[in-house]
Amino acid sequence: MLAGDLYLADDPELEADALRAAELGERYNASSVTDLPARQALLRDLVGELGEGVVVRPPLAVDYGTYISIGARTFINSGAVLLDVAPIRIGEDVQIGPNVQLLTPTHPIEAEPRRAKWEAARPITIGDNVWLGGGVIVCPGVTIGANTVVGAGSVVTRDLPADVVAVGNPARVVRGLPES
């Protein structure tokens, strides 16, 4: 699965991992904003790696959680969907708007293997200091370079370089960013 090979999602071991994530996610999403230490503890149990000063506003949806790495000082707004069948690496100081989807799963385009419930996945990497506007969708296998800004509602179907602004469906680079 993590290597991008085909797998069956209803494998008993995978189902147990997904159930664990669903239970933790349910508790996290119901956690009180007034008990931040308890909320952070749940998030640490849910995701694989969590940097210092990370804020993730509920609700949050994941497949397994354990294949997600979130860098220090990153902010993820409400409604995030992080389908981590393959690793999702989010850098430091990243800003993720509401209802953003990072989607690693893929499915065969041929009817028969899809009917048989075969799936695969490709990792997603978000560089440091990236800003993903509200409603952005990042597709399987995509890497977004450091400092890049992706406009609200964009669908990122292929890699984006560092230091650019990209918008649209599919997302296209519209300009570079000035050196800081």
Q: Which of 20, 27, 107, 122 is catalytic?
A: 107
Residue 107 annotated to the active site: yes
> Which residues are CB-neighbours of 13 under 8 A, at least 6 positions away?
none
What whole-number distance in Å separates Cα of residue 38 and Cα of residue 85?
26
- DSSP code at position 111: H
- DSSP code at position 17: H
What whole-number distance in Å separates Cα of residue 71 and Cα of residue 74?
6
> Which residues are CB-neighbours of 86 under 8 A, at least 6 positions away?
1, 2, 4, 67, 104, 105, 121, 122, 123, 124, 140
Q: What separation in angstroms does the CA of 146 have from each of 38, 44, 83, 117?
A: 31, 25, 21, 36
Find tokens 């450091």 and name the residue: 146
Query: Which residues are designated catalytic?
Result: 107
